[in-house]
């Protein structure tokens, strides 16, 4: 009985630990999927987050690998976007109740600030997973090179061959 309780507590602690401790790098797969697919961040920021955007019709996203923002600021930027500056808000309720910069849709309209539409809104839990991925693989990681590329994709894929 006691052993069962201890095991359950250990499991709970493991689940709460940062993913790098609990699982290792392979398990940033969900965050990566949110970055590349559901949020389509790569359209403007590039698959490596280095600003080499994937879609020339889209606005230029800055190089996230060189971003100096901390976790709270990155989370805020993803949830609230940057009105008037082409970074979409991924929180569905971003400008509904003043949670973002104290502004609502009407305030944005009054100031003539437009927001780029996100590919899809993200749940708070998805944004946490995405931010975990960004800090593990993108933000502060320096320029993408062949070794980092192979680690990022899980193997030395085509996209890595052009890198040194
Ligand atoms: C439509 C293009 C576009 C998409 C899609 C997009 N971004 Fe951005 N992002 C931008 C632009 C443009 C900026 C710079 C805004 C500014 O000038 O303040 C930016 C800024 C940021 C910043 C702040 C960087 C810094 O150092 O100040 C972060 C973090 C960020 N984006 C993350 C993301 C993530 C994560 C996603 C996907 C969930 C995403 N972006 C999707 C265009 C985009």
Which one of 87, 114, 115, 117 would you pick to mutate in the ligand 1 pocket, going by the greatest count of ligand atoms within 8 A of its CB? 87
Give, rounded to a whole angstrom, the gap between the first and last alpha carbons of the chain. Answer: 55
Query: What is the distance in A from the centroid of ligand 1 to the CA of 151?
Result: 23
Tokens of 161: 């061959």
Q: Which protein residue has the closest C-alpha to ligand 1 atom 5?
A: 41
Closest ligand 1 atom number to CA of residue 116: 1
CB of residue 84 inside a 6 A radius of ligand 1: no
Query: What is the distance in A from the centroid of ligand 1 to the CA of 156?
Result: 27
Q: Which residues contact 62 (CB under 8 A, 6 or more apart)?
A: 45, 51
Q: Which protein residue has the closest C-alpha to ligand 1 atom 22?
A: 77
Segment 7-33 mean pLDDT: 60
How many CB atoms are located within 10 Å of the residue 23 CB?
14
In this predicted model, what pLDDT tens digit does every residue of 36-54 receive, in sequence order?
999 999 999 999 999 999 8
In this predicted model, what pLDDT tens digit does every residue of 119-140 receive, in sequence order?
999 999 999 999 999 999 999 9
Query: What is the distance in A from the centroid of ligand 1 to the CA of 4?
Result: 45
Band of residue 6 on the pLDDT scale cut at 50, 70, 90: low
Predicted local distance difference test score (pLDDT) of residue 124? 97
């Amino acid at each position: 009985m006691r052993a069962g309780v201890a095991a359950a507590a250990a499991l709970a602690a493991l689940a709460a630990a940062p993913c790098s401790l609990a699982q290792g790098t392979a398990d940033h797969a969900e965050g990566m999927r949110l970055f590349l697919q559901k949020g389509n961040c790569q359209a403007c920021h590039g698959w490596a987050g280095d600003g080499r955007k994937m879609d020339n019709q889209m606005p230029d996203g800055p190089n996230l690998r060189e971003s100096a923002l901390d976790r709270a600021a990155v989370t805020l930027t993803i949830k609230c976007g940057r009105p008037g500056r082409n970074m979409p808000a991924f929180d569905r309720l971003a400008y509904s109740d003043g949670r973002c910069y104290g502004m609502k849709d009407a305030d944005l309209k009054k100031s003539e600030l437009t927001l780029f539409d996100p590919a899809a809104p993200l749940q708070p839990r998805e944004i946490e997973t995405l931010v975990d991925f960004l800090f593990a693989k993108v933000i502060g990681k320096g320029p993408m090179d062949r070794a980092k590329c192979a680690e990022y994709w899980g193997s030395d894929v085509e996209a890595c061959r052009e890198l040194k």
